[in-house]
Chain A
Amino acid sequence: MSDPSRLVIVARLEEIRHACDFVVEAAEQAGLDERAVYHCQMAVDEALTNIIEHGYAFEGESSEIEITCQADASRFLITLTDDSPAFNPLEHTAPDPVAPLDTREPGGWGIYFIRRLMDDVTYQRVGSYNRLVLTKKLPEARPAAAPAAGTGDVFPVRTLDKKTAVISPSGRLDSNTSPTLERALITQLDHGMVWIFVDMTNVEYIASSGLKILVSSWRRARDNQGDVVLSGLQPRLIEIFEMVGFDLLFQMFPDLDSALAARPQKT
Chain B
Amino acid sequence: MEPESPAPEAPGGSPGPALELRAIDKRFGAVHANRAVSLSVARGSIHGLIGENGAGKSTLMNIVYGFHTADSGEIRVNGRRVVIGRPRDSIEAGIGMVHQHFMLVERFTVLENVVLGAEGGRLLGKGLGEARAGLERLGRDYGLDVPLDAETGHLPVGMQQRVEILKALHHRADILILDEPTSVLTPPEADQLFRMLALLRDQGKTVILVTHKLREIMAITDRVTVMRQGAVVHETATRDTTPRALAEQIVGRAVLLRVEKKPARPGPALLEVRNLEVRDRFGVPRVKGATFSLRAGEIVGIAGVSGNGQSELLEALSGIRRPSGGAILLGGRDIAGENVGPRDRRGLGIAHVPEDRLRMGVVGSFSAEDNSILGYEGRPEFSGGGILRRGAIRSGCERKMAAYDIRPPAPRLRITAFSGGNQQKVVMAREIDSKPSVLIVGQPTRGVDIGAIEFIHRRIVELRDAGKAVLVVSVELDEIMGLSDRILVMAGGEFVGEVSGEEANERTLGLMMAGVRGDPRK
A and B associate: no
